[in-house]
Each structure stands twice: as C-alpha cells, then as structure tokens.
Amino acid sequence: MNTMTEVATQNTIISTNPATGEKLGELACATPEEVHDAVRRARQAQPAWQALAVAERVAVLKRFQRKLSEQREQVAMLISREAGKPTVEALTTEILVVLDAAEFCIRTAHGFLRDEPLPHANLAMKTKRGKLVREPYGVIGIIAPWNYPFSLPATETLAALVTGNAVVLKPSEMTPLVALELQKLLYTAGLDPSLMQVVIGAGPVGGALLESDIDKVIFTGSVATGKRVGEAAARRLLPAVLELGGKDPMIVLEDADLEVASSGAVWASMMNAGQTCLSIERCYVQRSVYEKFVELCRQKIGKLRVGEGIGSEVEMGPLIHERQLRTVENQVNDAVARGARLLAGGRRMSELGPNFYAPTLLADVTQDMLIMREETFGPALPVAAFDTDDDAVALANDSEFGLAASVWTGNRKRGEAIAARIKAGTVMINDAISGFGIAEAPHGGFKQSGIG
Ligand code: NAD
C-alpha cells in the first residue's frame, strides 16, 4: 500500500500497523481553514485558562496522570500497534516518561510561576524595584514526529498547559491515533477541549499551522523539515524550538566495564529498532579492548528477539515504514562495500513482516562511510577503533550533529574531561538515552541537532 499517495490524492491519512501492514484507521486531514479555526478557538479559550489559579491547572494534570496510570496497558498497546515498539518498551519509554513529566510539572509549577523579585546593585537605580513575571505565550503549535508518538507531544503539551498556554498539536501522519488518545485522556481529565486540539495530516497541515495565528512553535523531527519550519517561523518572527536529528557517538575507553558498555551499546542502538533521536549511532572503542568489545556486542545482538511489538517475548519491533528500511539498507550496504566487517544482521527479515530489519553489527567502519555521517534511524551499531583520548574527541566531534554523546569509563574524572570537550547538548557517562527520561534535565542539541 502506498500511504503517501493516498495522502496526496484523497486528503486522508491511513494509520497502519508497521509490523503487519494492517490498516488501523483512515482519518480526514484538516483543511487550512480547520487549522486556523482550531487556533482561533484555542486563542479564545486561553485567557480564562491563564486566569485560573495554578492549583486549578495542576488539578487537571493530576487527573490526567491518574487516568493515564489507570489506562497504561491500553495506551501502551495502542502505541505498539501504531508505532511498532514492544509494549514493555512503550510502557517504560512513553507512559512512564509522561507520568514522570506530569509529576515534574505538578511539583514545580507553583514555584516556577511565582513572581521573582529582581534584586540589583545599580546605585543610580537604588530606589527602583522590579520583579520577574512569567507569562504564557498564548497558543503553542506543536509539530511532532512518529518515533515517540506519545511521550514527545505529551511532555510538551503538559508543560505548555500548566504554564497557562493552549495547544494545537499536529502529530505525525504515521501515528495520529496515539495523538488522539492523548487528547482523549486530557479531555477525560476535565480539560476544556478548546485548550488542546489535534489537527490531523501530513506536511501541508504542519505548514498551515505555521501560517496560523500561533504564538510559538515546538517542532520535533528531521533536520530537513526543521530547516523549513525554521524558515517559515523566521518569516513572521515566530518563536521556535527545533528538536532535530542526532548521530550520537559512544566512546568506550580501555578502562570501561566492557560487559556494561557492550550491553549499553546494544540497548541504546537497538531500542525502538534504533529509531530514537538519542540512540547510539556511532561507537568508538579504544584499540586495546576493541576486539573484545565487538565480540561481546556480537553475542548480545545475536540474542535479541525480534517480532511484532505486542507480546512480552519481543525486544525489538519493526521499522515504521519501508522508506526507513531502505535508508538503513543503503547505509549498511555502503559500509560493507567500503570495507566494514558485517558481524550480525545486514538483511531484511521479510519472514516477520513488511518492515523488519535484522539487528546489525558492523566493525572497522570509517568516518567517510554514510553510516558514520548521516542519521541512520535503524537497528545498526557501527563500531570503530581509536588510539588516544584526543582521537576519540576528534572523532566524536566530526559530525554535523550534536544532540547527545556518552563516555564509558571506570575513571569518572577522565570521563568528565572528555565529556567537557564534546560538542553535544547532553553528554552522559556510563549511560545513554536515559537523560531524556529525567524531567529535570534539559534536552536539546548543538549544531544541526536543533535550536532552543
Ligand atoms: P519529519 O521531519 O519527517 O516530520 C516531523 C513532523 O513534521 C511530522 O509531523 C510531519 O508531518 C511534519 N512536517 C513535515 N513537513 C512539514 C512542513 N513542511 N511543515 C510543517 N511540518 C511538516 O520527522 P519524522 O520522520 O517524523 O521524525 C524522525 C526525526 O525526528 C529524526 O530525524 C529524529 O532524530 C527526529 N527527532 C528528534 C528528537 C529530538 O528531541 N531532537 C526527538 C525525536 C525525533
């Protein structure tokens, strides 16, 4: 089935289970007028929401949290069905993350929104007093991707709502049903429906949202689309947060616990079938432990159970779409053609369904290979050796991306010294990805990985 053709010709989108190809639903795309109407309704409802006491907005979040907790199994199943990831993974990386983010908003909203005195030391202004007052933007437009179809828009929506904003969400055309579920949960928590609306559709609907009367846009997606969104926002000086792609490096030093590091590498490269903005996409290992590390990864990758996400036995699901599969395939083939050693995977698993690709391990990769330069967004772990700490830093920084990175070592000081020299929004030591699950930790990228 060619979903994109149907999008273009019928003005509908088809939600499909990526594991089976089964059609889950067909939804009409919002017209530009409907997008503008949604924003207008949000604008009308927002001042009353802003005028409420913080405790009343917090109460809605608390009810949302309770509803989500009660319905976590069903929501996780829906995420599995529409996005392909194992249900257990949906529970931990989507539902738990949102429950925790809700808790963070609930706990910090009062303090964050309280007016702050602004002490100053300017003698000429000695008699003047000022204060910092935090105000909502108004209507926030959120444009979301499919890879974390629940946790990304939900965390952004909750933060926007608790601070007194209204939200119009344009979810990915691949995962509209999950976005509608988020909306339903908020409505059953008692939120005025005008304050959180979902507009369904592909790129043109996102374009219409950018042309509408929103006060800020929060975009998460690819660099190519992010640049288009950034341009459209700049034309009208619309504040924009751009959360874009990544090519996160992992540096394994010779003093690392190789059991832990190899498990970390496999987990963080294969989670969500590698379709995580923070997944490990490049792995650099100090030469003296290189072969041992590669062998441990080979053994662990060989044990991964791949299949349809709904079912507790499975650790890795399908890719979202055949297009994604072709990208991974191209990069793996390019690496092998240029001399990389293929130690696991490197093939489609058509016997499982239309979009499965085997967990892949490549050794002896070099910086010129596509798989070390472009975002893969698939289940591939490319590994290369390095000699000195300086070499490791140079390799890690040799990328147009700068979302996150990790350093694995038994010597924390050495790890921190290397971390300080890596140009990335987040650098973790002996860990990867998990920074995103901590609501208190900021998340954002350097270079092409984003702004804001
Ligand atoms: P995408 O750029 O294809 O689409 C993202 C969203 O933008 C979708 O909702 C899409 O419909 C919409 N869109 C497409 N064209 C548009 C246009 N012209 N105007 C407005 N909106 C438009 O990205 P994707 O394939 O859905 O997501 C995967 C990408 O997202 C990867 O690159 C990944 O690294 C990135 N990502 C980044 C983060 C982060 O926090 N930095 C998190 C998750 C995903």
Q: Which atom of ligand 1 is nearest to the CA of 277?
A: 34
Q: What is the pLDDT of residue 10?
A: 55
DSSP single-letter state for residue 360: E
Q: What is the pLDDT of residue 267?
A: 98
What are the residues facing 383 on neighbouring strands? 283
The alpha carbon of 7 and the centre of ligand 1 are apart by a number of angstroms equal to 17
Q: Which long-range contacts (CB under 8 A, 24 or more apart) does 116-120 make?
A: none
Strands (E), 199-317: 216-220, 240-243, 248-252, 280-286
Counting every residue written for the chain, the total comes to 452
Query: Taking a C-beta distance cutoff of 8 angstroms, is the pair 374, 351 a contact?
Result: no
Mutate to test the pocket of ligand 1, among 151, 225, 229 (most ligand atoms within 8 A of CB): 225
Each residue's pLDDT, cut to its tens digit, for the chain (452 residues) gives: 344 434 444 599 999 999 999 999 999 999 999 999 999 999 999 999 999 999 999 999 999 999 999 999 999 999 999 999 999 999 999 999 999 999 999 999 999 999 999 999 999 999 999 999 999 999 999 999 999 999 999 999 999 999 999 999 999 999 999 999 999 999 999 999 999 999 999 999 999 999 999 999 999 999 999 999 999 999 999 999 999 999 999 999 999 999 999 999 999 999 999 999 999 999 999 999 999 999 999 999 999 999 998 877 899 999 999 999 999 999 999 999 999 999 999 999 999 999 999 999 999 999 999 999 999 999 999 999 999 999 999 999 999 999 999 999 999 999 999 999 999 999 999 999 998 888 889 899 999 999 98
The alpha carbon of 224 and the centre of ligand 1 are apart by a number of angstroms equal to 9
Report CA Rg, the chain.
23
Q: Evaluate the CA torsion angle 51, 54, 56, 59 in order and state its sign.
A: positive
DSSP single-letter state for residue 348: B
DSSP 162-218: HTT-EEEEE--TT-HHHHHHHHHHHHHTT--GGGEEE---SHHHHHHHHHSS-SEEE
Q: Distance from first CA to last CA of the chain, Å, rounded?
A: 38
Residue in 146, 47, 65, 145 with CA at minimum distance from that of residue 105: 65
Mutate to test the pocket of ligand 1, among 142, 172, 269 (most ligand atoms within 8 A of CB): 172
The alpha carbon of 243 and the centre of ligand 1 are apart by a number of angstroms equal to 9
Q: How far is CA 177 from CA 10, 222, 356, in A?
A: 19, 21, 22
Mutate to test the pocket of ligand 1, among 148, 210, 214, 222 (most ligand atoms within 8 A of CB): 222
- Residue nearest ligand 1's atom 21 by CA: 206
Q: Distance (Å, rounded) from C-alpha 186 to C-alpha 169?
A: 13
Q: Name every protein residue with a CB atom under 6 angstroms from any ligand 1 atom.
A: 143-148, 152, 170, 172-173, 202-203, 206-207, 210, 220-222, 225, 228-229, 243-246, 277, 375, 377, 403, 445, 450
- Residue nearest ligand 1's atom 8 by CA: 172
The alpha carbon of 245 and the centre of ligand 1 are apart by a number of angstroms equal to 9
Residues annotated as catalytic (active site), given as ranges: 243, 277
Q: Which atom of ligand 1 is nearest to the CA of 148?
A: 43
Letter string b/e over residues 366-402, b meaning 16 or more CB atoms within 10 A of that residue's CB: eeebebbbbbbbbbbbbbbbbeebeebbebbbebebb
Query: Taking a C-beta distance cutoff of 8 angstroms, is the pair 380, 280 a contact?
Result: no
